[in-house]
Amino acid sequence: MNDLPYDILVVGAGPAGAVSAAEAARRGRRVALLERKQEVGIPVRCGEGVGLKGFALTMPIRSEWILAAIRRVRLVSPSGMELTLADVDTSYVLDRTRMDPDLVKDAQVCGVDYYPATPVVSLQKNADGYVCRSPGKSFYADCVILADGVESRLARQAGWKTALPLRDIETCAFARVEHASIGGDVLAMYTGKKVAPGGYAWIFPRGEGVANVGLGILGSASTGGMARRLLTSFVATHFAGARISHLHCGAVPVGRWLKPLVRGGVMVVGDAARQVNALNGGGINYALFAGQCAGAAAAEAFASGRFNPQALQAYETQWSRRCGKQQMRSYALKQMVVTWPDSVLDDFARRLAGAGAQRLSYLKVFLRVFAAHPRLLLKAFLLFR
């Protein structure tokens, strides 16, 4: 066995893990980044959409990552009524197959030792810290950051209760679709129980004629293979004769963030920590911010010359203050929305239909929808006090 000592071990080289590792190494710590796959960024288990405001909390968006700039959002109700929002915040669809490897390279430039194709099979506490065991290697460190995804087995080994109730997970199907009808700047979302029970279907453009198309089904409404079947039907209905590739399935957490985020010398970030907008399933911006906070806290925990696990609490404090309350609101809204019958969503669409695309914004949609439903408006108000 090869024994490899470090200050900090980061498990999982997605955005949260790569940024965690880079931030800790940038601050002078010896860091190893362990990734079970040979290549990061594939398969892409998301629509690849981000809002500029949230992304900029951590870093600037590089032009080479941008596949499309979103100018309009098209919302389709269960009965097929369409609404277009033209006044939307600056948003992009990014190429994760480029961004994720670039973030790993950035970490390596900062001094991180990167180990691809290195699955961690166990995490154990010992007298000197922690040991992560991989076939043929053992990695030792005082501090471990777990960024190994929604299915994180290592978080369970470290003492977290990671089981998600079915109402707090989406079973999703993803595909890349090529069709002449796909516009390069319009993001579309379809709702309704026939389309995606307890969730929605999405079309995120990757440029003219190609898009990420997918859908998510609430776990409590799903059956085996249902997401794939519904996605296949959705694509056949809206993109007859399209070329389909990269079809795969996966899970997305849509629950509360995992508390605590720190146990002893171990932290969880990204999907492993359930740091995902529960209403729309978006997690890239949360992952980047959480990774930066976790990496900084891990590095600062060595500031006195000896590792101080109490200093890791700065990570949870920053996350809770900046994003945690926002995510909990998204969870409460999701819990409310999934109870609505399709007739309520169609009623919202009818009330908005006369506004005109150029005059609709997210705020105007919110006000028009909830003004017609005083009880819902009160519930929403209580969430945002």
Structure confidence at residue 374 as a pLDDT band (50, 70, 90):
low
pLDDT tens for residues 15-58? Answer: 999 999 999 999 999 999 999 999 998 887 788 899 999 999 99
Confidence at residue 56, expressed as pLDDT on a 0 to 100 scale: 92
The whole-number pLDDT of residue 289 equals: 97
Which pLDDT tens digit goes with each residue over 106-164? 999 999 999 999 999 999 999 889 999 999 899 999 999 999 999 899 999 999 999 99
Nearest one of 183, 141, 129, 131 to 7, comparing CA atoms: 141
**Longest Cα–Cα distance in the chain:** 69
Task: Flag whether pLDDT at 60 surpasses 80.
Answer: yes
Looking at residue 4, its pLDDT comes to: 79
Question: What pLDDT was estimated at residue 373?
Answer: 56
How crowded is residue 239: how many other Cβ atoms within 10 Å of its Cβ?
19
**pLDDT confidence of 375, banded at 50, 70, 90?**
low
Per DSSP, what are the bridge partners of residue 113? 32
The pLDDT of residue 295: 98
Portion of the chain with pLDDT greater than 70, in percent:
91
Confidence of residue 312 (pLDDT cuts 50, 70, 90): very high
Please write the tens of the pLDDT for every residue from 209-228.
999 999 999 999 999 999 99
| pLDDT exceeds cutoff 50 at 1 | no
Q: What is the 3-state secondary structure (H, E, C) of the chain?
A: CEEEECCEEEECCCHHHHHHHHHHHHCCCCEEEECCCCCCCCCCCCCCEEEHHHHCCCCCCCHHHEEEEECEEEEECCCCCEEEECECCCEEEECHHHHHHHHHHHHHHCCCEEECCCCCCEEEEECCEEEEEECCEEEEECEEEECCCCCCHHHHHCCCCCCCCHHHEEEEEEEEEECCCCCCCEEEEECCCCCCCCCEEEEEECCCCEEEEEEEEEHHHCCCCHHHHHHHHHHHHHCCCCEEEEEEEEEEECCCCCCCCEECCEEECHHHHCCCCCCCCCCHHHHHHHHHHHHHHHHHCCCCCCCCHHHHHHHHHHHHHHHHHHHHHHHHHHHHHCCCCHHHHHHHHHHHHHHCHHHCEHHHHHHHHHHCCHHHHHHHHHHCC
- pLDDT at position 366, please? 56
What's the pLDDT tens digit per position in 332-367? 889 988 988 999 889 888 877 765 544 554 455 555
Task: Report the percentage of the chain scoring pLDDT > 90.
Answer: 76
Q: State residue 80's pLDDT score.
A: 94
381 pLDDT above the threshold of 50: no
Where in the sequence of the chain do the CATH 3.50.50.60 domains occur?
A: 2-45+96-163+255-327
Share the mean pLDDT of the chain: 90
- pLDDT at residue 362 in the model: 47
Delimiting residues of CATH 3.30.9.10 domain(s) in the chain: 59-94+165-253
What's the mean pLDDT in 260-270?
A: 98
Domain topology for 59-94+165-253? D-Amino Acid Oxidase; Chain A, domain 2 (3.30.9)
Q: Is the predicted pLDDT of residue 324 greater than 70, yes or no? A: yes
Instruction: Give me the mean pLDDT over the 167-179 stretch.
Output: 96
> In the structure encoding, which two tokens stand for residue 215, read together?
């859908």
Q: What is the mean pLDDT of residues 258-264?
A: 97
Among the four given CATH numbers 3.40.50.150, 3.50.50.60, 1.10.760.10, 2.40.50.140, the one describing domain 2-45+96-163+255-327: 3.50.50.60
Q: What is the pLDDT of residue 371?
A: 56
Q: Using pLDDT thresholds of 50, 70 and 90, give the confidence band for residue 384.
A: very low
pLDDT at 246: 93
